[in-house]
Structure 1
Amino acid sequence: MSQVFDRLVFYLEAHYRRKHKSMDFDNLLHQANCVLELCRAQGIKIVSVDDSEYPENLRNVRGCPELLFMKGCLTPGDRIAVAIVGTRNPTIVGQAVAAEIAADLAAAGVTIVSGLAYGIDACAHSAALNARGRTIACLGHGVDQVYPKANWALYREIAETGALLSEYLPGTGPRPWHFPERNRLISGLSLGVVVVEAGLKSGALITADWALKHGRPVMCVPGSVKSAASQGTNRLIQEGAYLVTCAEDVLSFLRKDNEYVPQPETGRSVQCVSLEESLVLNSLARYESVEDICDNLNEIPVYRTMSLLSALEVKGYVKSLAGGKYVLTPAGQKLIT
């Protein structure tokens, strides 16, 4: 505790210096004791970089925070972690793909790291929890604050089964400049970063930049060239990011540099598709045109069928052709045989 207290005093000194406020040593000691009492009362743990509980991946990056404020707990298995980030305004396909990759990775024993924002972040956290896996949320505010408020239930569940982490003092509200700083924690905690849908100005691209600085692989799910939500991810792929469409791709890339990354077989099949997707795949075994496929699947609304076709194309199970036609890829054919 003495190491934590000493680091907390220096942390507060730097904190007030940044605000152009001076404080004598006795007041710093008083403030540090007040922070400790507040953390005890709210069930917040302060983890020092010297602590064995401090995340190993994060400790190994330059400029890691000397203190982390945490709700929940960290485990040794959290070393095998992957960040999944993306736009706050995802498409239906983006949500489905993010959820599938997160669930499959979590089922394989990989901890999912994200930022508890709207959109892809929330999809990734929720999917990991639904798969009964572990997930860590890095926050751009005090760990006692919930932002956005709509994610309160998710915040509470992560605190109970995973970990909420922040480098900001309890009581600190969200500020625009906090989130780019928060993104370096997301990257630092992870063996690699997966970006699922990101526009050209998306904050997820900042996380990708941090990953490159940390020497971590950047992986992107490709999207339509007509979709603004995929312009950032498509550009990252052009610049050399790995193209991934499923959890198996992610694990394969990570295993090149980390032999302890689990095989996909340790979890549920990463090839699994939903019932609706299975119906579309079976229809494609007989029909090619969108019109015929939709007629054959008259129990599924046309807009939903189009969304399913797009999702299956992203996963690599179908391929679109000129004239509004789709065909099964070899991977898709394996799913219906």
Structure 2
Amino acid sequence: MAYLFNQSWRTLLDFFDKNKMSRLSQQNWLQKFASTEEMFKLVKKSDLKKYPLEVSNDKKKIRVITLLDKDYPQLLQQIENPPVFIYLLGKDLNYRENLTISVIGSRHPTAYGEKVTNLIIDYFTHPDITIISGMAIGIDSIAQKRALQKNMNSIAVLGSGPDVCYPKSEYRLYQDLIEKGSIISEYPPGTQPLRYHFPMRNRIISGLSKQLIVSEAGRKSGTMFTAQSALEQGRDVYAIPGSIFMKESQGCHQLINDGAKIIMNLEDMSQISQEILHSLGQEDLLMIHLINQFRPDFDQLQKLTKYSISNILIRLGKLESLTLIEQKNGNYYLTQNGFNYIKH
């Protein structure tokens, strides 16, 4: 089904001028054809040009990323039902995907939940880590505010158009994210938040993330839907246990029972943060395989990867610190640890 969904939408993307995609609003056909079923009906029609694409959003600086674009997030592209269009306000999505963490939870957290959420961000503070959430009242907004205070990157996924702040009480956070982070949505500009938008939004939160942490949640909540999506998508899901007497902790306990990893203490947080920072992304893996195949010097590595000099230096430093590669006489080689890594 996912293949058919993507292929059918690719037909539409190829048909239309993608340069016009940034001029979209809730009045145009894209909102009407948000569901897979309606999309298939559209594909069968011959007269596609009758749908307008001319409403301008230039003043709002909204960009659109399509499923076919190179800067579409790879992790999100891999889920069963990826959004075909991402509407973006704020910074470009040029973060490291292997260092993305969703921090989510109750809209009505306890003092314990608030403290734990702030501690999570403190322990994971690093300029390369991106915190993803839904900007909702409660745990989501607490996590994103703390991330911005720590000068970390943060992305909010909305259940409305990117130009519609919801909830309105988080308008200050919304403005800070536009300035220092990113606001994204699969819904066209001007789209108001509707109840059925949020379950769809939640799959994007988990889809963008390599790891997901639930600090506090009731058993029946949107947080549980997001966490279950993450488990189904093969993400690393962590949950913070709480009191057996508190309903706000029952969701976390259920997730642990369903296979989420438990964070029992501060030492666990520290260890997990180090594991995440040392995880390898696609660029790192490409470097390892090229070094294994060609044993290149620096200039050859730059030609093979087409990466910038600064990016190559960062990757080499990371791989050397993990004892996966070594340099001899100007050329790079895999260590025994490196060979063991690619075997697994």
- The two structures have a TM-score, normalised by structure 1, of 0.69
Following the alignment from structure 1 to structure 2, what is the Cα–Cα distance between the partners of residues 135 and 214?
21
Greater displacement, 192-201 / 9-18: 9-18
Deviations 1:147-202 (A, max 9, x none): 11110000000011111010001111111111111011100110011001100112
Asked whether the 8 Å contact 2:159–2:197 carries over to 1, the reply is yes
Following the alignment from structure 2 to structure 1, what is the Cα–Cα distance between the partners of residues 130 and 277?
15
Asked whether the 8 Å contact 1:192–1:216 carries over to 2, the reply is yes
Alignment of 1:154-233 (within 5 A): 154-233=173-252
Which residue in 2 is equivalent to 1:276? none
Following the alignment from structure 2 to structure 1, what is the Cα–Cα distance between the partners of residues 196 and 272?
30
Asked whether the 8 Å contact 2:31–2:187 carries over to 1, the reply is no
Asked whether the 8 Å contact 2:161–2:187 carries over to 1, the reply is yes
By how many angstroms is 1:49 displaced? 1.6
For the aligned residue pairs, the C-alpha RMSD in angstroms reads 3.0
Following the alignment from structure 1 to structure 2, what is the Cα–Cα distance between the partners of residues 232 and 249?
24
By how many angstroms is 1:109 displaced? 2.5
Which letter does structure 2 place at the counterpart of 1:183?
N
Following the alignment from structure 1 to structure 2, what is the Cα–Cα distance between the partners of residues 43 and 137?
16
Following the alignment from structure 1 to structure 2, what is the Cα–Cα distance between the partners of residues 59 and 172?
23
Following the alignment from structure 2 to structure 1, what is the Cα–Cα distance between the partners of residues 181 and 127?
16
By how many angstroms is 1:18 displaced? 4.7
Following the alignment from structure 2 to structure 1, what is the Cα–Cα distance between the partners of residues 162 and 21?
21
Which residue in 2 is equivalent to 1:83? 102
Q: Does 1:251 align with 2:270?
A: no
By how many angstroms is 1:250 displaced? 3.3
Deviations 1:86-130 (A, max 9, x none): 000001111111112123323353100000000000110001001
**Percent of aligned pairs sharing the same letter:** 32
Q: Does 1:44 align with 2:65?
A: no
Asked whether the 8 Å contact 1:105–1:111 carries over to 2, the reply is no
Structure 1: state its 5+ residue gaps: 267-337
| Structure 1 residues 52 and 81, CA gap change in structure 2 (3 angstroms) | same
Following the alignment from structure 1 to structure 2, what is the Cα–Cα distance between the partners of residues 98 and 218?
15
Asked whether the 8 Å contact 1:4–1:47 carries over to 2, the reply is no
Following the alignment from structure 2 to structure 1, what is the Cα–Cα distance between the partners of residues 249 and 275?
21
| Structure 1 residues 45 and 12, CA gap change in structure 2 (3 angstroms) | same
Given candidates 13, 17, 24, the residue that maps to 1:2 is 17
Asked whether the 8 Å contact 1:106–1:134 carries over to 2, the reply is no
Q: Does 1:98 align with 2:85?
A: no
The count of aligned residue pairs is: 256
Greater displacement, 179-188 / 94-103: 94-103
- What SS class does the counterpart of residue 102 from structure 1 fall into? helix
Following the alignment from structure 2 to structure 1, what is the Cα–Cα distance between the partners of residues 86 and 104?
21
| Structure 1 residues 143 and 6, CA gap change in structure 2 (3 angstroms) | closer
| Structure 1 residues 10 and 252, CA gap change in structure 2 (3 angstroms) | farther
Which letter does structure 2 place at the counterpart of 1:179?
F
Following the alignment from structure 1 to structure 2, what is the Cα–Cα distance between the partners of residues 173 and 213?
29
Following the alignment from structure 1 to structure 2, what is the Cα–Cα distance between the partners of residues 148 and 162?
18
Which letter does structure 2 place at the counterpart of 1:213?
E
Alignment of 1:1-337 (within 5 A): 2-3=17-18, 5=20, 11=30, 14-15=33-34, 18=38, 25-28=48-51, 30=52, 32-34=53-55, 37-38=56-57, 40-79=58-97, 80-107=99-126, 109-244=128-263, 245-246=265-266, 247-251=269-273, 254=276, 258-260=279-281
Following the alignment from structure 2 to structure 1, what is the Cα–Cα distance between the partners of residues 38 and 198?
18
By how many angstroms is 1:248 displaced? 2.0
Structure 2: state its 5+ residue gaps: 1-15, 285-313, 319-344
By how many angstroms is 1:217 displaced? 1.4
Which letter does structure 1 place at the counterpart of 2:216?
E
| Structure 1 residues 123 and 13, CA gap change in structure 2 (3 angstroms) | closer
Asked whether the 8 Å contact 1:98–1:124 carries over to 2, the reply is yes
Following the alignment from structure 2 to structure 1, what is the Cα–Cα distance between the partners of residues 70 and 64?
12
- What SS class does the counterpart of residue 170 from structure 2 fall into? helix
Asked whether the 8 Å contact 1:106–1:128 carries over to 2, the reply is yes
| Structure 1 residues 150 and 27, CA gap change in structure 2 (3 angstroms) | same
Deviations 1:9-35 (A, max 9, x none): 88456249859x99964441x2x111x
- The two structures have a TM-score, normalised by structure 2, of 0.67
